[in-house]
Amino acid sequence: MGFEAASAGTHPAQAVAEHAITLLEGRGISTDGMAPKSLDDFNPSEFDMVISMGCGVHCPAIKIDQDWELEDPVGQAYEVYEATASEIQRRLELLNTQDV
């Protein structure tokens, strides 16, 4: 879609969720070398925009440009991952039509 993205969390897991791997690979997105990352290792100045999924997390040290208030699908059925991914894609498509 023309975006370069990265992901980080406040409490990263030991491994990327299997449903996430399956979904990404099913959409043709490489998961090679993908691993959970901490916000401690995230430098927001490397990005044009910082978007939070929400998930009830507050990050006072990081300027959040948009908070999408999405539910974290971790531990839920594959269909929840699909719905979350579709919503992220929908919102990215909206961003793609705006002057970001």
Q: Where are the domains of the chain?
A: 18-96
Residues 92, 98, 100: CA angle, nearest 5 degrees: 85
Determine the residue type at 32: D
Q: What is the pTM of this model?
A: 0.83
Residues 54, 66, 15: CA angle, nearest 5 degrees: 45
**What is each CA distance from 70 to 4, 6, 43, 55, 89, in whole angstroms?**
20, 17, 22, 6, 13
Which of these, 76, 68, 55, lies nearest to 94 by C-alpha position?
Answer: 68
Tens-place pLDDT, residues 1-54? 777 888 888 888 999 999 999 999 999 999 999 999 998 888 888 999 999 888
What count of residues does the chain have?
Answer: 100
Fold of 18-96: Rossmann fold (3.40.50)
Tens-place pLDDT, residues 18-27? 999 999 999 9
State the average pLDDT over residues 63-80: 92
Determine the residue type at 87: E
pLDDT of amino acid 44: 87
Q: Sign of torsion, CA 40 29 82 15?
A: negative
